[in-house]
Amino acid sequence: MSHTTSGQPPRQRLLQTPLRRVRGSGSAKQGTHHWWMQRVSSIALLPLTIWFIVSLATSAGMTHVEAVLWIRQPLNAVLLLALVALTFQHTASGLQVVIEDYTNQEWLKIALILAVKGICWLLGIAAVLAVVRIVALPIAV
Amino acid sequence: MSIMQDSREATMVGRRSDGTLIRRPLSPHLQVYDMLQMTSAISISHRITGIVWVAGVVVMTWWLVAAAAGPRAFDAVQWFLGSFLGILLLMGVIAAAWFHTLAGIRHLAWDAGWGYDIPTVYKTGRAVLIGTGVLTALTWLALIVSW
């Protein structure tokens, strides 16, 4: 059978069960989860990022003591931890899509995505540890 | 199936939700776009600015870790951010961050089903560009005043 521009497309027997099709999870078995989490993190990052940029832009010449005291404040520490976690989540999944779109060798694609995820986890842990350490400093600096 | 006469056919075969095959064009290749159009230029810029922002994320991590490490490490970051290279990096990242933020809001509006008609697309596109310029300038004003 052939199909041309004018002809009707051929029908094909489905190898999927109706349940599988209804679930809509596709071959990656995640459905729209990756896409959806990218939107959710972007909505959360919107106020967090604006808060962070405005906070730092209005206090550019901070000394070390001023910076530590600013990070130590409970509200700032909570928002910083949320910002760091969401930033690295959003960055890793955003870069993953870019890699998936432009890499055509499967091994390279997997290697790059794993490398990005690894770096994002390590930098994220380092940033979280830094905030926690500053909050836990025993003395007033 | 007979042999395809034209390799482009391969990009024309899609599938209906009930599984039957249908001829419809799938993602056209880059070459069909005029990159001087504002729509496609902003689209690829959203990706590029997202990647540029990674540099800012690395600096943010360095800044936090240095603050936790002590005054000497912190002075090193502050010195870098005040150096020529640091200012250049901050300039790029701040502009990229505002662009990615505003273009991201535009994407969220599209996801909600708003703003698909051509006049609105161009209007919001211009708003993203003007907004990026204004917010970047305001951020630098705040930086210079507080330095």
Query: What per-residue confidence (pLDDT) applies to B58?
Result: 98
Distances in Å between the Cα of A5 and the Cα atoms of A81, B12, B22 are 56, 10, 10
**CA–CA dist A92, B54 (Å, integer):** 10
Query: Given an 8 Å threshold on Cβ–Cβ distance, is B19 in contact with A14?
Result: yes
The reported pLDDT for the residue numbered A48 is: 98
- Give the tens place of pLDDT for each residue, B118-136: 999 999 999 999 999 999 9
Q: How far is B118 from chain A (nearest CA, A)?
A: 23
Q: Does residue B35 register a pLDDT over 80?
A: no
CB atoms within 10 A of CB A131: 22
At B1 the pLDDT is 44
Q: Do A68 and B94 touch (CB under 8 A)?
A: no
Whether the Cβ atoms of residue B28 and residue B34 lie closer than 8 Å to each other:
no
Asked whether the predicted pLDDT for residue B97 surpasses 90, the reply is yes
Question: Cβ–Cβ of B19/A9 closer than 8 Å?
Answer: no
At B91, list the tokens: 């300039």
**Is A4's pLDDT higher than 70?**
no
Q: Does residue A56 contact residue B78 with C-beta atoms inside 8 Å?
A: no
Q: Select from A23, A32, A42 the residue whose CB has the most chain B CBs within 10 Å, as the one to mutate to test that interface.
A: A42
Chain B contact for A10 (CB, 8 A cutoff): yes
pLDDT above 90: residue A31: no
Q: Is B60's Cβ below 8 Å from some Cβ in A?
A: yes
Mutation target to probe the B interface, by most B beta carbons within 10 A, among A32, A46, A64 is A64
Q: Using one digit for the tens of pLDDT, what is the confidence trace for A117-126?
A: 999 999 999 9
Confidence of residue B60 (pLDDT cuts 50, 70, 90): very high
Q: Is the pLDDT of residue B2 over 70?
A: no
Read off φ and ψ for residue A12, nearest 5 degrees: -130, 135
* Contact present, A48 and A82 (Cβ < 8 Å): yes
**Token pair 């955003």: residue:** A94
Compare CB distances from B23 to A3, A62, A68 and report the shortest one's residue: A3
Residue in chain A lying closest to B147 (CA): A61
Residue A68 is encoded by which pair of tokens?
A: 């530590």
CB contact under 8 A, B57 and A91: yes
In whole angstroms, how large is the CA radius of gyration of chain B?
22
Residue A5: pLDDT band (50, 70, 90) is low
CB B29 within 8 A of CB A16: no
Check pLDDT > 80 for residue A8: no
With beta carbons less than 8 A apart as the criterion, state whether B17 and A22 touch: no
Percentage of chain A with pLDDT > 90?
67
Q: Please report the pLDDT score of residue B23 as a whole number.
A: 79
Answer whether B109 touches A (CB < 8 Å): no
Higher pLDDT, A81 or A3: A81
Has residue A114 got a pLDDT over 90? yes
- From the list B51, B42, B97, the residue with the least C-alpha distance to A48 is B97
Question: Residues 26..85 of A with a Cβ closer than 8 Å to B: which?
Answer: 39, 42-43, 46, 49-50, 52-54, 57-62, 64-65, 67-68, 71, 80, 84
Q: What is the dihedral of CA B103, B107, B108, B113, to 10 degrees?
A: 140
Distances (CA, A) of A103 to A90, A95, A110, A113, B61: 20, 12, 9, 10, 28
A129 to chain B: nearest residue by CA? B65
